Structures are given as structure tokens and as C-alpha cells.
Amino acid sequence: MKTVLIGVGQAGGKVTSSLVEFDHDMGFDAVKGALAVNSAKADLQPLDIDTVLVGQDRVKGHGVGGDNELGAAVMQSDAGEVMSALDGRITAEAEAIVVVAGLGAAPGPAGRRSARELNKVYDVPVYAIGILPGRGEGAMYQVNAGRSLKTLVREADATILIDNDAWHSSGESLEEGFDSINDSIARRVGLLFASGENVEGVGESVVDTSEVINTLRSGGVAALGYASAEADDDPDTNINVVTSVTRNALLTGTSLPNATKADSALLVVAGKPERISRKGVERARKWVEEETGSMQVRGGDFPLDSERLAALVLLGGVERSTRMEEFMQRAKEAREEAKRQAEAREDTDKLFQNDDLDSLI
Ligand code: GDP
């Protein structure tokens, strides 16, 4: 799937850069353009991709911090600037536009605003990659993410969710883990984009871009799983390799842990074509059907010159999964807590305003 990427905010910009790098290093050439959008100059400077600085009259290059409302205002006023920066970058070869954003902070509204504007202007699907804050991040992040996600799901054609807790190893802080998390995102999403691209001698079993688009057609929230293992030269000995990488991709390697119930799924098996066991693929697909409860499980190979075999599992329509319900509940509770705290502060202010006593200092 030939894509043009738009990274919004710091997380969006960094993940977009990692994706561009992965696509380039692997020689896939599925990413046809990339732009990072931010209101903070410092966040754009380290990036190796094209950038556009927005909201200068309001925040003067310092960003909006965690202020969701200001972020929304800045991006609304600058939607035109973003759209004109994109002009000419979204060429006829682009098969999808992908907006990447961290949902925890200000870029949430920006991401969804861009998705809406882009959807109005361009004919190709507009997908979002939304990064959920980790459980350890503050209440404000959870509230922002809940709000952003709700609207993003409405505005984008589908939103691939990445939980920041998914690939973060214990013992390191979330910030320390960002580089490796971003690499994990780039590998999975990069392989998904490259599916159906860069393939010589297309055979019947080779995955096609339309399968990705059709899997995401149900809209809503999507998740992406990946796992790989050493493979044997003989495909017959690889039956179990194919089934076990598929199981691991879905059960332990997914971007949204515990989200296995889905409306649709796509199983891509990557590796040397002569090593891919047809029997293994058949069994793995059956297993994905049972596990997701979906009758719409597509599949295909991704010929790749590697000593390993890998499974990439794209799930469409996972919003009814326990993980999503848990997250929305957490966001709701955080919002109620923030409201209670604001009311308590107001009560305290009132109490002291009504007091006839002079303050001591
Ligand atoms: P900004 O201040 O408006 O640019 O907000 P960010 O884009 O930094 O969004 C904050 C959210 O993104 C938080 O939930 C962070 O945990 C997450 N985040 C920030 N940087 C990264 C990163 O490099 N990778 C990942 N995966 N998440 C990030």
C-alpha cells in the first residue's frame, strides 16, 4: 500500500521518522512522502523528514504542552497551512494517507482535525495510527486520549491503535523505552504498508494492497500483531513455525493486548516463498478465524528474503474488545476525577474569597 504519512505532535513526528527509516532500510519504497507537523520548533528540529511549524501567532514555536483545547485551536486555525503543505505531496500513486499521532496530549485533536480535512479533499482512504498513553501516565493523558480516540474513530476510515504499554519492557521507564517502542511500531506498520508492494513474480498466494484496504473497511479500531521465528529450508518442517508465529503475533505481539475479538482479519506470512508451508498457512488461518470470531479472515504471503518466517496479523473492528472497554472506562474515571478536583479547587477559592479576614502575607 503506497502511503503518504503525516506525523502530528512529538510522538507522531518521531514514529513517522522511524517508519520512513524502516521503509528505506528494507528497500520497500512503500512510503511515498512524509511530513511532520508541530507547534513546537524544538520537536521538529531533530527529525530527518520534511516538517511544517504551525500555530506561530499563538504559541510562538514553544508548543502547547498538554493543553488539548489550545492544541485544537492551534490546529483548527492552521488546518489550511497543513493542507497547503501537503499540496503536491499526495500524488496519484498514493493509495492511502496515514495520520500518526500520540493521543495522550495536544496532538489528539490535531490528528482528528487533519483526518477530517484530508477526508474531504482526497479520494484515497485516510487512516490514523493512534498511540494510547501507558497506564502509568497521568489522568490528563487518559482523558485526552479518550476524547481524541472517540472523534478520531469517527473521522478516519480506520484507526490502528498502539498501546504504549504493549512493547515496553519492565524495568525501564516509558520514555527510555520510546526508541524501541517506535522501532516495534515501524517494523509492524512498515511491513503492512509494504504488503503487496515490491513483489516480483506475483503469485496467487501473494498478498495484495486491496486485502489491507478491505480488512480495514469495517472502520473503527484496528490492531496489528507480529512475531517471527527461525525457519527450516523444508516447508514441511515449517508447519508448526507458521502456526506458532501466528499465535504469538495475535496473543503476545499485538499492538493492543487482549484485543482478539474482531470483525475482520488479515494474516500475512512473510519469508522465503519456498519455505512457507501451505498446510501451516491453512491451519493458521483457521485458528485466526476461531480466535477472532470473524468469518472474514483474509490471507496472503509476503515474499521476503529472510532466514526467518514472520506472521503479521491485522485485525479490523476490535472496538468491542475488553481492552478497549477497559481503556474507555479508565478515560471516563480520569475525567470524573479531574472534574472533582476542579470543583474542590473552586470550593476552596470561594471559601477564601468570602472570608472577611485579611491574609497574613
Ligand atoms: P505534544 O507535546 O503535543 O507533542 O505531545 P506528544 O506527541 O509528545 O504526545 C504525548 C503522548 O505521546 C504521551 O502519551 C506519550 O507517552 C506519547 N509519546 C511521546 N513521545 C513518544 C514516542 O517517541 N513514542 C511513543 N510510542 N509514544 C510517545
* Ligand 1 pocket mutation, candidates 62, 131, 184, criterion most atoms within 8 A of CB: 131
On whether 261 is known to bind a ligand per the annotation, the reply is no
Per the CB < 8 A criterion, the answer to whether 155 and 120 are in contact is: no
Cell 524501541 sits at which residue?
180
Average pLDDT value for residue range 62-79? 57
pLDDT band for 72, please (50, 70, 90 cuts): low
139-155 helix and 322-353 helix, angle to the nearest 10 degrees: 130
The more confident residue out of 3 and 80 is 3
What is the whole-number distance in angstroms between the Cα of residue 226 and the centre of ligand 1? 22
pLDDT at 89 exceeding the cut of 90: no
Domains of the chain by range and CATH?
Answer: 3-194 (3.40.50.1440), 222-316 (3.30.1330.20)
pLDDT at 341 exceeding the cut of 90: no
> In the prediction, which pLDDT does 71 show?
53
Beta-carbon contacts of 127 under 8 Å, excluding residues fewer than 6 positions away, are 96, 97, 98, 99, 156, 157, 158, 159, 160, 216
Give residues (CB < 6 A) around ligand 1. Answer: 9-12, 14-15, 43, 63, 102, 104-107, 131, 133, 137, 141, 164, 174, 178, 181-182
Per the CB < 8 A criterion, the answer to whether 312 and 224 are in contact is: yes
Give the CA diameter of the chain: 88
Q: What is the mean pLDDT of the chain?
A: 86
For the ranges 12-16, 91-95, 117-121, the maximum mean pLDDT occurs at: 12-16
On whether 11 is known to bind a ligand per the annotation, the reply is yes
Render pLDDT for 126-177 as a digit per residue (tens, 0 to 9): 999 999 998 888 888 888 888 888 888 888 899 999 999 998 777 888 888 8
For the ranges 146-160, 280-294, 325-339, 342-356, the maximum mean pLDDT occurs at: 280-294
- Residue 69 CA to residue 133 CA, distance in Å, equals 18
- Residue 167 CA to residue 183 CA, distance in Å, equals 10
The continuous run of DSSP H or E covering 87 comes out as none
On whether 182 is known to bind a ligand per the annotation, the reply is yes
The more confident residue out of 300 and 200 is 300
> In the prediction, which pLDDT does 161 show?
95
* Ligand 1 pocket mutation, candidates 174, 178, 224, criterion most atoms within 8 A of CB: 178
Rg (CA), the chain: 22
The atom number, within ligand 1, closest to the CA of 164 reads: 26
